[in-house]
Structure 1
Amino acid sequence: MGEQRGSDGEDAEGGAPASRRRFLGMAAAAGAGLAAAGCSGGDGGAAHPTAAPTRGPSAVRGENDRPGDSGWRLSRRGAPSAIEGYTDRVSVLPGEEFGLHVSTTAPGFTVRAYRMGWYGGARARLVWQSERVQGRRQRAPRFEQRTRTVHADWEPSLTVATRGWPEGCYLLRLDADRRSAQRYVPITVRSATAVGRTVLVNASATWQAYNEWGGHSLYNGPDGAYRSRALAVSFDRPYHKDGAGKFLIYEQPAVCLAERLGIPLAYTTGVDVATRPGQLTGATAVVLLGHDEYWTPEQRARVAQARDAGANLAVLGANTCFRRIRLESAANGPDRLAVCYKSDYREDPCYARGDYALVTNDFRRDPAPSPESALTGVLYEGYPTEAPYVVTRPDHWVFAGTGVRAGDSFKALVGVEYDRVTPEAPTPRPLEVLSHSPLVCNGQHSHSDSAYGTRPSGAGLFASGTMRWVESLDATGPGVHGVRHGMDGRTGAFTRRVTENVLRVFAAGPAGHTHPATDNLHEVYGAAAKV
């Protein structure tokens, strides 16, 4: 995937290769009693699993009956500074305005707003287009030395009113004159209510963590070194490369599939869950997409509250809820900075104040360890790897209609990062391992697990255990999307059907009431998994 790794072993896809081994050792030293182990570093035609009718209105179903526009993709990116932009808000409610800040070397440009969905396979609908806007090259970015933070701090180019825009995920496409250069700018039109709906959560903070625009991300500086990385990153700057962040790879395929199903959907971002109480109130399900690594404690608490109120939780990726961050204000408004000191956490001002719950290190690490597995059921283990996905529980309802048998495998579906069930860590029970996929990561043998569990509230939990899950939804074999990382059309058909099964059942209400989990961790992990 071309991502870089830092000099201290931090990797650009979510953690040090020895992260699980370090965590287990640290937890043991803290008296948690954990042992160090692990990695350093076709549709069968069966019926869908039983699900009650979905509840609540589904504006998305009607929306996707409208004609789509297959011309939403970039045709010419142009030079890096030819045209680029950012919004002054991560999300808006339908009808609200946002500011769009654009810099371009062209005399003028236009903006097209595409709502991303199914639309008969077109995947987008054009909902708005600007008049031609006069272009200009904006000022050089401002650099904040203390935290090595890059701020574009550009003047607004236009104000965009979203009257008539349906809630959903949007890509604004910036077109320089004569379409000599193009870039995307993402924005979420969030839902006013989640009641009776499946909530899709855009991982905006994670997109920003990896954003190298201006030379600094939370992983490295201009010299590619970990030591020169930013300690805080600003939302007031464009995303590098095509401008879409990580949306197109790790989120759009799942959004497309969910909208095709016609289940009642709601949209928000992790930033909004963290900063706006009530974003998940009344939700039937919360869906975390392919790479949702950076969370505030407030976001984690609110997702846990939704789960404990009966909302199902689908984790369609790996390395989820791994980094603890803090959102802070910047010159241009509240919550425009994502702070994460990582291994330099002792330099975090919250550490000096003794406010350890807000210190921005990995959730599992000092000074306030709280492993992500307590929420997700699985623990991030390592990077990089690539391995077949191996089914071990073929009769489970999530595999209905796939025709799989025990031992069936799907090439390259496990990667580039992975999770596994780790009974020594905090692990909600009952929990079923559905796939147990052998792999080698940095020379060490381990496994990746998909798992399903249920909670006392009735909430169901599905964790895919691999970061490639959402990306694989677009693996169709030869054609438009082609073969991705060796994942062929058979793999894509498998993950699409499993994801459909999960979303349909989860949209019907607390899955534990209709599809209880049968704990099998002792069969997979032996004495370490005894309750």
Structure 2
Amino acid sequence: MDQEYTAGPAANHEHAGPGEGEGAARRRFLAIATGAATAAGLGAVTGCAQGDGPPAAGSGATSEPDARAGKPPAAGARGLDVKAENALPGHPDWPVVTAGPARAIEGFADRVSVLPGESFGLHVSTTAPRFTVSAYRMGWYGGARARLVWRSEALPGARQPEPTVDAGTRTVRTRWTRTATVATKDWPEGSYLLRLDAQGGEGRRFVPLTVRSAVTAGRTVVVNAVATWQAYNRWGGYGSYDGPGGGFASRSLAVSFDRPYEYDDGAGLFLVYEAPLIALAERLGIPLAYATTTDVAREKRLLEGATAVLSLGHDEYWSPEQRAHVTAARDAGTNIAVLGANCCYRRIRLEASDLGPDRTLVCYKSSYAQDPGFRRGHPATVDFRSAPGADPESSLLGVIYDGYPVDAPYVVTHPGHWLFEGTGAREGDRFEHLVGVEYDKVDTGFPTPRPIEILAHSPVVCEGRPSHQDTAYYTAPSGAGVFATGTMRWVEALDATGDGRSGRNHGLDARSGALTTRVTENLLRVFATGPAGRTHPAQDNVKAVYGSS
């Protein structure tokens, strides 16, 4: 039964380049990073070999608001008041500590994002007779990291049918009925985790949702990388990297958002690669806006007037429309920060699913000639740097993806740069394990905007091939500043304390946490004030670092 709610405030390797042949192993790394069990039968990788380049109607029932949550601040002309929002009490009991049996409860939303006040549908499958839904807005909240915005009454639970798999594309489809309709009345903009709690404590899972901003002018835009979350999602046995047998040849050629996320807590890649950055940004109190990669692709003018756009820890899958809109924003003076690595690497196409537009992610990769969309004239869904239609990501990012897997120290080489102010870093300082598991570098053999400054130049050896990781900053003719960390572990490191309590930090210690936190604070504060290149122009040092220009 579909319950309707008015949710108010609560008191095999196909080529030698990086990224395809290593699909199963990359998924294995991400499963470990997000606390999931390592899948069995995963294949070997050749990630650093050089090839194409360096690597139903509702019942009308209404839930009552939870009295603990407080009243959200009103959104003014400039959008969310971040400081006022984060002054409200947090709820530290939000995490899924024990998920319970694999199929005890799980679900998905029929929209990846909604505007405040809009409704969305929840599709839930559970073995429990009843369950509740709690909406947590993720932020700082004095370190609690989340605020309970709304909680449902107890809802009837039911086990939904098993999924089916399309023969041609190996797309997993659920076709589950809608369980509840939720209206987001008085929900502030932001990134949300909806926690599903099965009756009797039999299971808990998250469902991610973004309450997006209608306007981003004058604000720093946090972009949830939902396309990449979904590409790595193997719920139902198939994802964009492999199928049940663990081989690349059995991968899905198109994946659907109409399914839960497989990882133990159901949050996709959000908690490791995005939540720490959101907490830091909201703690700073800078004006923020929220969107997803799907929103940026769909809405041509969404980024107009934004001070900065943030790509978070793992943001690999982009549509040509998303790239064009981010590039246009840069060329209009909007700063760009890439707080990860392997960004803007896969070219995708978004298509409709049974539940709505833009809910199927198409990425044929090296099998693009089989794609009916390509035959109809759409761009090939291959890596951006690959033919046909090669357009290396470095022309936007300044850096280019160079390989996987590595685990190496991060080496500071330009400590006098404004981004290192207050860190105490000196030339040659090393921060163990901060470079990994994928990395980027400056490579002028690809299109590279100039002037560009290399701030960290870290030696790596990737499956026997010596190379370097680079953190870089360039300024565009528009005055925009573009910063790229060059390592996938940057956002993850923001939470590194070195106390041994987290199994997710790959040995990152408190020094790495302090460095990445201060650099990110410096970055966000400057980027929030307008085109950074006008006050902090890049001074090109490629020749000094690499010995050639």
Considering the TM-score relative to the shorter chain, is it more than 0.5?
yes
Partner letter of residue 76 of structure 1?
A: T
Partner of 2:392: 371
- What is the RMSD computed on CA atoms of the aligned residues? 1.8
- Tell whether the 8 Å contact from 1:477 to 1:483 is kept in structure 2 after alignment: no
* 1:425 aligns to 2:454 (yes or no): no
- Which residue of 323, 328, 335 maps to 1:312? 335
Provide the rounded CA distance (Å) in 2 between the counterparts of 1:374 and 1:185.
35
- Which residue of 204, 221, 224 maps to 1:202? 224
For residues 161-186 of structure 1, the C-alpha deviation after alignment (integer angstroms, 9 at most, x for no partner) is: 10010000000000000222100000
Partner of 1:230: 252
- Which residue of 246, 265, 269 maps to 2:288? 265
- Which residue of 325, 331, 340 maps to 2:363? 340
- Which residue of 446, 450, 454 maps to 2:471? 450
Partner of 2:67: none
* 1:107 aligns to 2:129 (yes or no): yes
- Which residue of 6, 16, 21 maps to 2:50? 21
Partner letter of residue 367 of structure 2?
A: D
Residues 301 and 19 (structure 1), Cα distance of their counterparts in 2 relative to 1, 3 Å cut: farther
1:186-197 equivalence runs, <5 A: 186-197=208-219
Provide the rounded CA distance (Å) in 2 between the counterparts of 1:360 and 1:483.
32
Partner of 1:246: 269
Partner letter of residue 329 of structure 2?
A: A
For residues 330-367 of structure 1, the C-alpha deviation after alignment (integer angstroms, 9 at most, x for no partner) is: 22211110000011111112333454xx2100000011
Partner SS for 2:150? strand
Partner letter of residue 324 of structure 1?
A: R
Provide the rounded CA distance (Å) in 1 between the counterparts of 2:355 and 2:406.
40
- In the TM superposition, residue 20 of structure 1 has moved relative to its aligned partner by 7.7
- Which residue of 355, 359, 362 maps to 2:383? 362
Provide the rounded CA distance (Å) in 2 between the counterparts of 1:172 and 1:18.
35
- In the TM superposition, residue 479 of structure 1 has moved relative to its aligned partner by 6.7
Partner of 2:495: 474
- Tell whether the 8 Å contact from 2:216 to 2:304 is kept in structure 1 after alignment: yes
For residues 29-63 of structure 1, the C-alpha deviation after alignment (integer angstroms, 9 at most, x for no partner) is: xxxxxxxxx6x6xxxxxxxxxxxxxx956511110
* 1:517 aligns to 2:538 (yes or no): yes
Provide the rounded CA distance (Å) in 1 between the counterparts of 2:398 and 2:19.
28
- Which residue of 301, 312, 317 maps to 1:278? 301
- Tell whether the 8 Å contact from 1:11 to 1:17 is kept in structure 2 after alignment: no
Provide the rounded CA distance (Å) in 1 between the counterparts of 2:46 and 2:426.
32
Partner of 2:87: 65
* 1:158 aligns to 2:180 (yes or no): yes
- Tell whether the 8 Å contact from 1:387 to 1:411 is kept in structure 2 after alignment: yes
Provide the rounded CA distance (Å) in 2 between the counterparts of 1:196 and 1:329.
32
- In the TM superposition, residue 142 of structure 1 has moved relative to its aligned partner by 2.1
Partner of 2:312: 289
Partner letter of residue 118 of structure 1?
A: W
Residues 516 and 302 (structure 1), Cα distance of their counterparts in 2 relative to 1, 3 Å cut: same
* 1:401 aligns to 2:422 (yes or no): yes
Q: TM-score, normalised by structure 2?
A: 0.87
- Tell whether the 8 Å contact from 2:24 to 2:248 is kept in structure 1 after alignment: no
Instruction: Give unpaired runs (5+ residues) of structure 2.
Output: 1-17, 30-44, 56-76
Provide the rounded CA distance (Å) in 2 between the counterparts of 1:526 and 1:449.
15
* 1:488 aligns to 2:517 (yes or no): no
For residues 190-211 of structure 1, the C-alpha deviation after alignment (integer angstroms, 9 at most, x for no partner) is: 0111010000000001000000
For residues 298-328 of structure 1, the C-alpha deviation after alignment (integer angstroms, 9 at most, x for no partner) is: 0000000010010000000000000000000
Provide the rounded CA distance (Å) in 1 between the counterparts of 2:46 and 2:220.
33
- In the TM superposition, residue 525 of structure 1 has moved relative to its aligned partner by 1.9
Provide the rounded CA distance (Å) in 2 between the counterparts of 1:520 and 1:17.
32
- Tell whether the 8 Å contact from 2:80 to 2:189 is kept in structure 1 after alignment: no
- How many residue pairs were aligned? 494
Partner SS for 2:122? strand
Partner letter of residue 22 of structure 1?
A: G
Provide the rounded CA distance (Å) in 2 between the counterparts of 1:225 and 1:57.
46
- In the TM superposition, residue 12 of structure 1 has moved relative to its aligned partner by 5.1
Partner of 2:458: 437
**Bigger shift: 329-338 or 413-422?**
329-338
Residues 521 and 116 (structure 1), Cα distance of their counterparts in 2 relative to 1, 3 Å cut: same
- In the TM superposition, residue 189 of structure 1 has moved relative to its aligned partner by 0.2
Identical-pair percentage: 61
- In the TM superposition, residue 144 of structure 1 has moved relative to its aligned partner by 1.1
Residues 479 and 17 (structure 1), Cα distance of their counterparts in 2 relative to 1, 3 Å cut: closer
- In the TM superposition, residue 13 of structure 1 has moved relative to its aligned partner by 3.8
Partner of 2:112: 90
Partner letter of residue 264 of structure 1?
A: P
Partner SS for 1:364? coil
- In the TM superposition, residue 76 of structure 1 has moved relative to its aligned partner by 2.2
Partner letter of residue 131 of structure 1?
A: E
Provide the rounded CA distance (Å) in 1 between the counterparts of 2:467 and 2:390.
24
- Tell whether the 8 Å contact from 2:350 to 2:360 is kept in structure 1 after alignment: yes
Partner letter of residue 245 of structure 2?
A: D
Provide the rounded CA distance (Å) in 2 between the counterparts of 1:389 and 1:19.
19
Provide the rounded CA distance (Å) in 1 between the counterparts of 2:240 and 2:539.
40
- In the TM superposition, residue 187 of structure 1 has moved relative to its aligned partner by 0.2
- Tell whether the 8 Å contact from 1:413 to 1:472 is kept in structure 2 after alignment: yes
Partner SS for 2:192? strand
* 1:255 aligns to 2:284 (yes or no): no
Q: TM-score, normalised by structure 1?
A: 0.90
- Tell whether the 8 Å contact from 2:339 to 2:490 is kept in structure 1 after alignment: yes
**Bigger shift: 169-178 or 7-16?**
7-16
Provide the rounded CA distance (Å) in 2 between the counterparts of 1:65 and 1:178.
33
Provide the rounded CA distance (Å) in 2 between the counterparts of 1:6 and 1:263.
35
Residues 354 and 279 (structure 1), Cα distance of their counterparts in 2 relative to 1, 3 Å cut: closer
**Bigger shift: 274-283 or 428-437?**
274-283
Provide the rounded CA distance (Å) in 2 between the counterparts of 1:99 and 1:395.
51
For residues 195-238 of structure 1, the C-alpha deviation after alignment (integer angstroms, 9 at most, x for no partner) is: 10000000001000000100000000011111110000000000
- In the TM superposition, residue 21 of structure 1 has moved relative to its aligned partner by 2.8
